[in-house]
Amino acid sequence: MMNHFWENPFVLTAGYYSVVVLCMVVFLVIFEIVTKYRNWEEIKKGNVAVAMATGGKIFGIANIFRYSIQHHDSLFVMIGWGFYGFLLLLIGYFIYEFLTPKFKIDVEIEKDNRAVGLISMIISIGLSFVVGESIS
């Protein structure tokens, strides 16, 4: 009887949703610690570059979890791939910083340099597809 409950698509969806939202909050807190600016304060002030960079991170994390849910049956395996994908996105952020020695990514995004924010968003989204595809 309980097996049927846990196999119900509504229950599974609610479970995956809850876990991904919780993981997303944890990951965004970590990104908040890593960046030199305060994401939500800057977004509240209308900083579009920060909104684009943060949005790219949110999309990237969600996309990695999408692939993980699609290709793994276990909730713990899904979480493991989500954490691994997040780690790879974080490494991508540091590589982006390293590859732009003429300016500091965080400083430019904090100054609302939308070009830098856009590239940051595209990098997060693009890498999430690469990571996601490798999960499958």
- Return phi, psi of residue 104, to 5°: -95, 125
Q: What are phi and psi of 52, to 5 degrees?
A: -65, -45
Q: What is the pTM of this model?
A: 0.88
What pLDDT does 75 receive? 82
pLDDT in tens, 88-120: 999 998 999 899 989 999 999 999 999 999 999
Per-residue pLDDT at 91: 94
Q: Which domain holds residue 121?
A: 2-135
Q: How many CB atoms lie within 10 A of CB 86?
A: 23
**What are the tokens at 9?**
């698509």
> pLDDT tens digit string along 10-49?
988 898 999 999 999 999 999 999 999 999 999 999 999 9
Predicted pLDDT at 8: 84
Which tokens in the block code for residue 1?
């009887």
| pLDDT given for residue 1 in this prediction | 61
Query: Is a pLDDT exceeding 70 seen at residue 2?
Result: no
Angstrom distance (rounded) from CA 100 to CA 78: 33
88 Cβ partners below 8 Å, 6+ apart?
A: 127, 131
Q: How many domains does the chain have?
A: 1
Summarised one tens digit per residue, pLDDT across range 41-86 is 999 999 999 999 999 999 999 999 999 998 877 788 889 999 999 9
Instruction: Classify 63 as helix, strand or coil.
Output: helix
Quote the percentage of the chain above a pLDDT of 90: 74
CB atoms within 10 A of CB 3: 7
